[in-house]
Structure 1
Amino acid sequence: MTEALKTELVNFSELTGEAGSARRAELARHVATLFALTSDRCSDEQVDIYDSVLLRLVDMVESEVRRYVAEQMSSLRRGPEETIRRLADDDIEVAEPILVRSTVLRDTDLIKIAEKRGNAHLFAMAQREVLTESLTDVLVEKGDLKVKRKVASNDGASLSNAAINALISDATSDATLQLSLSERADLAENHISNLISVASEEVRKKLNAAGRGKDAERLDEAADIAAQRMSNQYWLGRYDFETARSRVLMLAKRGMVNEAALRRFASEDRFAEVVATFAWLVRCGVEEVSHWMVRPDPEPFVILAKASGFSSITISSLLSIGPWRHRLTPESRSDAMSLFERMTIAEAKRKMAHWNLNVLH
């Protein structure tokens, strides 16, 4: 049955020789178009048949036709995997739409291509909607400045600590890269500090001397954005605490505000609701609590949480959500939990008794 269907789809015996060139191109386009139109309704066996046919056809046609096939395959949710891998590893004129858009390609496929291909292929990958840490590590390590700029400006790119540090290092002499990094929402506090430090006066002088005055001005812009990100208000300004407070008050009237509700909001990363719930449970103002839960130093929050009798499971979850997901390093998060676990409730209450609340902002 499989062989019969293959024969019905394409008769390869008619495609040999120079005379079959136009016919090969026509068939490749038609088969690719047909599959693109019917892919959602094809069985796994039918997808495999298309794959075997297209794989043979793309090896028999010119790059213009292969590009057409790649365009047809690039946006499909399921497709002929071998053919797509073959097209992704083709010349960039063919591979680009696959590398930019195809979700059929696995991370291992992309990394394998990235490790052996040049910057054109890397730049195409850097435009993907989602980039994993493993892939961005390769792109940052192997890519030129254009690739690195694209990775840094891609909100869907997950960056490892090593990749961020490498980009910040490269940003020392590139205002565009500095600006892209300063606008990312996933930089930890130490990364932001490092980013500010690279926008040095020496770099400005070099850029001005080279006639790149506009780039020199952008260094100031990048530094300003990074500095603003280090302020509490930058982080808190993105949340609607008033609406969250109203929701929590409604739940409180029904007796549904407790530590379990706090953990549920935390598991959903609903930071505004977490702040409002915590504020209600400890009988503090929402604004005051929001400042405790955004600080790069979480010690005041930890002391208050311990004095209020919260569990370590709850506090561990709160230290990993909202702004703290980006502002706290793994080490500072670990130190905060160590402090919470070794402190007694009595000790925490004694510390609170000596607080001047004005220093908590």
Structure 2
Amino acid sequence: MTVLVQLVQPPRDPVAPPSASELLALARNAAPDARQRLLLGVIALCDAAPPSGELSPVLGEIFLTLARQAEREVRKVLAERLSAADWAPSALINVLALDEFEIARPILASSPVLRDDDLLQVLLRASLEHQIAVARRPNISGRVADAVIDRGDPIVVTALATNRSAEISQDGLRRMVDLSRRIAALRSPLSRHPRLTESMAEEMYQWVGDALRQAIVARFEVDETKLTTAIYDAVQGVMRPARPDEMGDAEGSPRDEMERRLAAKLHAAGQLKPGVLVRAAREKRLGLLIHGLATLGDFKVAQIRKALSAPSPEALYYACAAVGIDRAAFPSLLTEVRKLNHGLPGDRGVSVWQRGAISSSSASRAFRALIDAEPAQNKLAV
């Protein structure tokens, strides 16, 4: 009797992820084959069960060493694998977020490890593509949205306008509406934004095209005749110079004197900073802005008031640059000033703040040269 015996090879044990010591040795080895094995090891580690709790210091060092020393393709795979990991080391995620854009993209889009402070650093330090990715990131906070709006870059702010999940405050949305006066690309996404109010839409109606006007009228069911009349009144207000007695902070008024004293007190305490003046404009305190600019820039109050009544914002920009107000913040400041000052300064001339940075001393000289020019050169349009 013949007995057939079939030898069955026992199944292989699944390949276990490499140990921490093995990965660390590979991370410190610059040989090409070691880099390849390191990449495979990291992939195996990421495919295994995520670590529970915080990573050990050794494992955190492995990842950080890899990100700083590895070739581009290794960093790219790392970013893709760790983009959704809530256990990834914060230091590593921040390194990847500031890497070249193709590597940073998945991290900026979805990493749960990134916090507001991390995203603000990306806005300050990284490329335009990185900034756009931050503006499009789902559920960004109002703090990050405000920083995007404050910087005022047309492409980045437009990306924010298309982000329906961003936590944009009503004040932030209003400032975006103000920016849409000069940034045409903002108008269409803002007109469809779910948190756009009727009053904001009526304001936008003044400068959008016919198609968007019809969309605004249809969405809010407002009287088109009323909006057309509002446009006429607004234009008349811009063309008509403001009288001193119409300004809430008219020179010599009790409120103006109060703001003058506050500016002097803040200056004496070393607290009169550019950010205070930007906030004064947002809080509708034109007098504090006037006296703050005059105090910080060593200008006369009359010179600042003359800049506020000019047909061009150029002189006001130079005054702001002279005291250290960032040029990225100037467009929103200008919008607030015009709302407080009957549409002035006017919009003649070019947007000099878009030409590039200028030193405070050069800005101060340019301001004085403009303000001290012949009156005929600064004549208001009436």
Choose which of 184, 191, 199 in structure 1 pairs with 2:193. 184
Structure 1 segment 1-361 matched on structure 2, within 5 A:
6-12=20-26, 15-17=28-30, 20-39=31-50, 42-46=51-55, 49-142=58-151, 144-199=153-208, 219-231=209-221
Structure 1 residues 140 and 52, CA, compared in 2 at 3 Å: closer, same or farther? same
Structure 1 residues 36 and 136, CA, compared in 2 at 3 Å: closer, same or farther? farther
In 2, the alpha carbon distance for the partners of 1:53 and 1:84 equals 13
In 2, the alpha carbon distance for the partners of 1:178 and 1:225 equals 11
Residues 160-169 or 144-153, more deviating? 160-169
Contact 1:133 1:157 in 2 (8 A): yes
Contact 2:105 2:130 in 1 (8 A): yes
State the SS of the aligned residue for 1:43: coil
Contact 1:15 1:24 in 2 (8 A): no
Structure 1 residues 24 and 164, CA, compared in 2 at 3 Å: closer, same or farther? same
Higher helix share: 1
Instruction: Tell me how large the CA RMSD over aligned residues is.
Output: 2.6
State the SS of the aligned residue for 1:172: coil
Structure 1 residues 64 and 220, CA, compared in 2 at 3 Å: closer, same or farther? farther
Which amino acid counterpart does residue 226 of structure 1 have in structure 2?
I
Contact 2:55 2:89 in 1 (8 A): no
Contact 2:148 2:156 in 1 (8 A): yes
In 1, the alpha carbon distance for the partners of 2:213 and 2:179 equals 15
Which amino acid counterpart does residue 188 of structure 1 have in structure 2?
T
Extract unaligned runs of 5+ from structure 1: 200-218, 233-361
In 1, the alpha carbon distance for the partners of 2:73 and 2:134 equals 21
Q: CA deviation at 1:73?
A: 0.8
In 2, the alpha carbon distance for the partners of 1:141 and 1:36 equals 41
Provide, for residues 48-69 of structure 1, a one-character-per-residue CA deviation record: whole Å limited to 9, x for no partner. Answer: 5433211111111122221111
Structure 1 residues 36 and 78, CA, compared in 2 at 3 Å: closer, same or farther? farther
In 1, the alpha carbon distance for the partners of 2:111 and 2:60 equals 15
Q: Percent identity?
A: 26
State the SS of the aligned residue for 1:59: helix
Structure 1 residues 111 and 180, CA, compared in 2 at 3 Å: closer, same or farther? same
In 1, the alpha carbon distance for the partners of 2:175 and 2:126 equals 21
Structure 1 residues 22 and 181, CA, compared in 2 at 3 Å: closer, same or farther? farther
In 2, the alpha carbon distance for the partners of 1:54 and 1:7 equals 12
In 2, the alpha carbon distance for the partners of 1:198 and 1:29 equals 57
Normalised by the length of structure 1, the TM-score is 0.51
In 2, the alpha carbon distance for the partners of 1:47 and 1:156 equals 35
Provide, for residues 28-51 of structure 1, a one-character-per-residue CA deviation record: whole Å limited to 9, x for no partner. Answer: 453145225422xx2224465433
Structure 1 residues 82 and 172, CA, compared in 2 at 3 Å: closer, same or farther? same
State the SS of the aligned residue for 1:10: helix
Normalised by the length of structure 2, the TM-score is 0.49
Structure 1 residues 29 and 123, CA, compared in 2 at 3 Å: closer, same or farther? farther
Residues 162-171 or 56-65, more deviating? 162-171
State the SS of the aligned residue for 2:180: helix
Q: CA deviation at 1:110?
A: 0.8
Q: CA deviation at 1:86?
A: 1.4
Extract unaligned runs of 5+ from structure 2: 1-17, 223-382
Contact 2:23 2:41 in 1 (8 A): no
Q: CA deviation at 1:184?
A: 0.6
Q: CA deviation at 1:195?
A: 1.6
Structure 1 residues 45 and 103, CA, compared in 2 at 3 Å: closer, same or farther? closer
Count of residue pairs brought into register by the alignment: 205
Residues 134-143 or 104-113, more deviating? 134-143
